[in-house]
Structure 1
C-alpha cells in the first residue's frame, strides 16, 4: 500500500502533462497554398452593386476553411438573388478587377430540381478544387468561383485570369467535370467576360 500512493501521484502528473500537450491551441494548422476570401452578395435594388457585396472572411489554412464552411448557410438555403464568391485574396469578384478583366469562366447551369439534390454538393466540390489546387499547374490561372442562386435556375462558375490561355482553360474544365462526376451528357461551357457582357456570345463546351 505504501508504494501505491506515489505511483498514483505520478499518474496524475502524467495526466496533467498529457492535457497540456493536447491543448487545441497548440495544434499545428495545415497551410493552404493561397489565402482565400469568401464574399457574399445580396441583391438589394436600393443599393449599388458594390454596396451589396460584403466580405465574410479570409482564411489560409485547412482548419479555418472548414470552420468557415461549417458556419455559413448552404447555397440551397440562400434567397434568390444571392451569391457566394470565393476568390484568391487580393482579387475582387468582379469583371473589372485587373486579374479578371482579361479572363472568363467555366459555367454550369442547374435546373430547379437540382437545387436540393446537387447544388450544395457541387459547390462544396468546387471549393475543394480551389483551395486544394486541384487543377495542377493550371491552378495558377484560377481566380475564384461564384455560385448564383436564381429563380429560374442556379449557376456555378470558376473564373480564370486569361481567356487566351486555352491549355490551362481546357485542363481546368476537364478536371472540374471529372471532379464533380458529372454525367457524360452534362455540359459546361467556357465564356470570356467580354462575351458575357455583349450580345454576341461565344462558348467553348465540354
Structure 2
C-alpha cells in the first residue's frame, strides 16, 4: 500500500530567500541568497530553521523574491514597478514577525489574480521596520488587486510607491 507521507505540496512559483547583511560598502555585495524553495514543506523547513526578522541586526533585511528576479530595482522585472509599503513603528513594530510571515504566505500562496505582477517582498529592520511588496509594474488594476488582498490579511495602512519616488500613488 502506498502512503502519501512523502508527497510535497508545490507552490505556483519557485522563490529565493535572501539576506541583506549590511556589512559591506557595496550594496550588492551585501546580498546573500540563502535558499530556494518551491513547496509548502520546504518553505516551512526554512522558516523553522532561520531567525525571525526581529532577531536580525538593525540595518539587515530579509528578502523573498521569485526565482530569477534579483531583489534590486535595476533588475528588468523591477525597473518599471513599485512597492506596497507597510511602515511598522511603535506598537506595530512588536508584530513585525507575524506581519512578515502573513505577507510572505499571501505572496507564495498566490491566491490572487495578478500573481505574475508580484516580484517579491522585503523586510527592512530599521528604527521603523518596513515591509515592502515589490511589483513588476504600476498598472492600477494589478496594484490595487494585490493591495486589497494584502489588506485582507494585514489590517495596517499601506501605500504604493514607484521605485525611487516619494509620492504615494495609492493608499489603502
Normalised by the size of structure 1, how large is the TM-score?
0.79
Of 147, 151, 155, 2:130 maps to: 155
Verify: 1:108 aligned to 2:78, yes or no. no
Of 160, 168, 171, 1:190 maps to: 160
Where is the strand percentage greater, Structure 1 or Structure 2? 2
Q: Using the alignment, how far apart are the partners of 2:3 and 2:140 within structure 1?
A: 49
Shift of 1:22: 6.4
Per the alignment, residue 205 of structure 1 pairs with: 171
Higher relative contact order (CA 8 A, sep 6+): 2
Q: Using the alignment, how far apart are the partners of 1:57 and 1:33 within structure 2?
A: 17
Report SS of the residue matched to 2:13: strand
Per the alignment, residue 94 of structure 1 pairs with: 72
Report SS of the residue matched to 2:165: helix
Shift of 1:47: 3.0
Verify: 1:48 aligned to 2:18, yes or no. no
Quick check: 2:159–2:168 contact (8 Å CA) kept in 1? no
The change in CA–CA distance for 1:147 and 1:23 in structure 2 (over 3 A counts) is same
Question: Pairwise mapping of residues 51-200 of structure 1 onto structure 2 (< 5 A)?
Answer: 51-116=29-94, 118-134=95-111, 136-151=112-127, 153-163=128-138, 165-180=139-154, 182=155, 186-196=156-166
Query: Whose radius of gyration is greater, 1 or 2?
Result: 1
Q: Using the alignment, how far apart are the partners of 2:17 and 2:99 within structure 1?
A: 17
How many pairs are equivalent? Answer: 172
Q: Using the alignment, how far apart are the partners of 1:48 and 1:28 within structure 2?
A: 42
Report SS of the residue matched to 1:40: strand
Q: Using the alignment, how far apart are the partners of 1:132 and 1:106 within structure 2?
A: 18
Shift of 1:111: 0.6
Quick check: 1:74–1:120 contact (8 Å CA) kept in 2? yes
Normalised by the size of structure 2, how large is the TM-score?
0.94
Q: Using the alignment, how far apart are the partners of 2:103 and 2:4 within structure 1?
A: 33
Q: Using the alignment, how far apart are the partners of 1:167 and 1:47 within structure 2?
A: 38
For structure 1, the residue ranges without an aligned partner over 5 or more in a row are 1-17
Where is the helix percentage greater, Structure 1 or Structure 2? 1
